[in-house]
Structure 1
């Protein structure tokens, strides 16, 4: 089994927000392999599949939380009291971060069923919309004006799910979307394993979504942030941040 640095593995498993944070936690003796072996150095090589345990530190329901956190750290929005809409909520990593940032309510939309973590499902601030296709959203389903929109969708292009949200947004709403090149590139540009390895293709996918948001939806681009955590198959993903007019 391949081996990887302990600090890199922590980041890959969603146990920290940055490599520097991983190094601090390791040097403080907070990281263990299994239940008893304390990792001594950030550069210690560990098997990729080993189970890491963190004695202390903030944990989220999904490692996807760190993807959104990276974008929030870059753009520093004030989300206090806003109503949020999260497309592709899944287990709720983005939802949890939005609530932590002070949103008043979040609509958790997912075409699937039973994925949202109970911690969020039972939170009265979370409106669970399961078996709900984002392409069909309208003001009857989402009656509130949305101050922050987030999206982490799979097996569909963002160009299909973002347009219905345009008329749901409040003035100057914040938008954070995760660009997954494997779902935006042409079929021949994606490897048999579902990975887009060519940086030029990755960049083209990012530019495609940025251009679509600006020209078709009228949003202003704020930032492009490489995700600190790669997708399950190793795809490099990117968060794009926008503001609505």
Structure 2
């Protein structure tokens, strides 16, 4: 059976008026193959009889939202009423998902400035914390116990930004971090264009973060979810989930953060 580019097939099926429009929707993670598989690239070759659909019901400020959603859909954590800390908030994809999941407040931390979407900037549940390095976080900056931590950081290893958060978390907090192999691997392991293509190296990077969190922070690893959307340069990324508690029966967390 013949295969055709995803953006072209989207137009042929009448879902978009032009390939450029289709490309924007695909890059935003809004085109699905079948019922649940997200089409990752405009140039992805698909069978010409593929059933495509637009995910109109999920419009997020950033396609990063779909990365976190992939992990949450698997684990199904109860985040209702928790306080959240979002490291590397950027446009706010993770923060938006956390609010959708019912958290009562999000501390949106980013070393940059002016990136957070206005929709979130105006939301009274969001504490905008710009020009703040995650390594400098403390209880004075984050005065509430954090029941869920997310991290999507670039140009720095997660091993540098997670330790300052340890004492900010409740006894049974949820943790979801996006492992980006290009920022965890050795320089000699990163290929042309900053892409880590070797799946063995990718796994080593995931193992590195899991081992660090377990041995240095005392967290319990729960699950690893490959991101359904690759990074801007094509890197395969992974969401790794942890709990700060080792007793699964402690789910429900501290009342202080509700």
Name the TM-score, length of structure 2 as normaliser: 0.79
**1:126 deviation in Å?**
0.1
After TM superposition, list the pairs within 5 Å mapping 1:1-245 onto structure 2.
4-5=5-6, 6=9, 12-16=27-31, 19-21=33-35, 42=50, 54=54, 56-245=56-245
Measured in 1, the distance between the counterparts of 2:105 and 2:127 equals 7
Offset at residue 23 of structure 1 (A): 7.7
Displacement of 1:58 in angstroms is 1.7
Deviation of residue 21 (structure 1)? 3.1
The Cα shift of 1:191 comes to 1.3
Counterparts in 2 of 1:141 and 1:192: CA distance versus 1, 3 Å: same
Alpha-carbon offset, residue 55 of structure 1:
8.5
Look up the SS of the partner of 2:127 in the other structure: strand
User: C-alpha offsets along residues 4-50 of structure 1, whole Å, 9 cap, x if unaligned?
Assistant: 3357976553115x5333689xxxxxxxxxxxxxxx95378xxxxxx
Distance 1:198 1:115 in 2: 32
- CA separation in 2, counterparts of 1:63 and 1:208? 26
Moved over 2 A (4+): 3-13, 18-24, 40-44, 53-57
Contact kept, 8 Å, 2:138 with 2:168, in 1: the verdict is: yes
- Rounded to whole Å, the distance in 2 between the matches of 1:109 and 1:216 is 23
1:62 is paired with a residue whose SS is coil
- Equivalent position of 1:33 in the other structure: none
Corresponding residue pairs, total: 219
Structure 1 gap ranges (5+): 25-39, 45-52
Query: How far 1:171 moved relative to its partner?
Result: 1.2
Q: Distance in 1 between matches of 2:196 and 2:114?
A: 30
Cα distance, 1:190–1:125 mapped onto 2, change above 3 Å: same
Alpha-carbon RMSD across the aligned residues, in angstroms, is 2.3
- 2:142 and 2:222 map into 1 onto residues whose CA distance is 25
Q: Deviations over 1:78-116 (max 9, x none)?
A: 000000000000000000000000000000000000000
Question: Structure 1 residue 223: deviation in Å?
Answer: 0.1
Deviations 1:44-71 (A, max 9, x none): 8xxxxxxxx9593321000000000000
**2 CA distance for matches of 1:20 and 1:101?**
25
**Cα 1:135/1:55, change in 2 over 3 Å:** closer
Q: Is the 8 A contact 2:34 2:50 kept in 1?
A: no
Structure 2, unaligned stretches of length 5 or more? Answer: 11-21, 39-47, 246-258
Q: For 1:64 and 1:159, how far apart are their aligned partners in 2?
A: 21
SS at match of 1:241: strand
User: What TM-score does the superposition give when structure 1 sets the normalisation length?
Assistant: 0.84
State whether residues 11 and 229 of structure 1, in contact with CA within 8 Å, keep that contact through their aligned partners in structure 2. Answer: no
Taking a change above 3 Å as real, the CA distance of residues 23 and 155 of structure 1, as seen in their structure-2 partners, is closer
